[in-house]
Amino acid sequence: MKKSEKRFISEYENKEVYVREYIKASLKRNMQVKMVCSMVTFVCAAILIGMRLHLTLAVLLLVVGVYLVIDNYYLSVSRHVKKTLRQYQRIYGTVNVHVKACASDNGLEYTINENRKQYSYEEIVRVEGTEHLIVFVAKDGIVPFLRDSFSASNKQALKTFITKKGRQAKNIE
């Protein structure tokens, strides 16, 4: 490691609440797309009802729109959280595993119970802040940093660092 290289490290014990938060952060774009689709179906249904055309199709569109909203806010997140928790139980025997996340000039490194993954900044799609975490969402994974691992000035330095790497960070202050 070079002396001038910046490193941001977060070590913590994972919790179920953290899993829920990083799942929501990783699904955020998907949820936005579903919301737009549900709004389009509602508008189409309203147009059909207003014009008194194809009421059966209008009712079908309303049902699809309602399903998308329900799936968006309740089913999708719950399904992914349950799947992830089952994977933790199967692989590690518990959800409360040791996590170490590190951001440096070389990229991101994520270690969970000695299993290590690395990501380059080109693989990072976005960076989202949640209540407890700062989540780096990659194309094929996520790297959560515990927010409490950083002081206010370190969070600002991390945001500047992320910006210099060509990514935008939301809500990490």
The domain spans of the chain are 7-14+96-170, 16-92
Closest CA to 108 of 132, 143, 141: 143
Q: pLDDT at position 4, please?
A: 53
> Letter for the amino acid at 88?
Y
Q: What is the rounded average pLDDT of the residues 63-68?
A: 85
Residue-wise pLDDT tens digits, 69-112: 888 777 777 888 888 889 888 888 888 999 999 999 889 999 98
Q: What is the rounded average pLDDT of the residues 121-131?
A: 89
- The burial class, CB within 10 Å (0-12 / 13-18 / 19+), for 23 is buried
The rounded distance, in Å, linking the Cα atoms of 43 and 154 is 46
Q: Are 126 and 167 in contact (CB under 8 A)?
A: yes
Q: What is the rounded average pLDDT of the residues 138-159?
A: 89
Q: Are 12 and 149 in contact (CB under 8 A)?
A: yes
pLDDT higher than threshold 60 for residue 45: yes
> Letter for the amino acid at 57?
L
Tell the CATH topology of 7-14+96-170: PH-domain like (2.30.29)
The rounded distance, in Å, linking the Cα atoms of 109 and 127 is 15
Task: Record the pTM.
Answer: 0.75
DSSP string for 12-29: EE--HHHHHHHHHHHHHH
Q: Are 96 and 14 in contact (CB under 8 A)?
A: yes
Which secondary structure element, helix H or strand E, spans residue 98, and what is its range?
Answer: strand 98-104
Q: pLDDT at position 69, please?
A: 82
As a whole number, the mean pLDDT across the chain is 85
Structure tokens at 122: 């080109």
Closest CA to 123 of 139, 99, 146: 139
The rounded distance, in Å, linking the Cα atoms of 75 and 27 is 12
pLDDT higher than threshold 50 for residue 20: yes
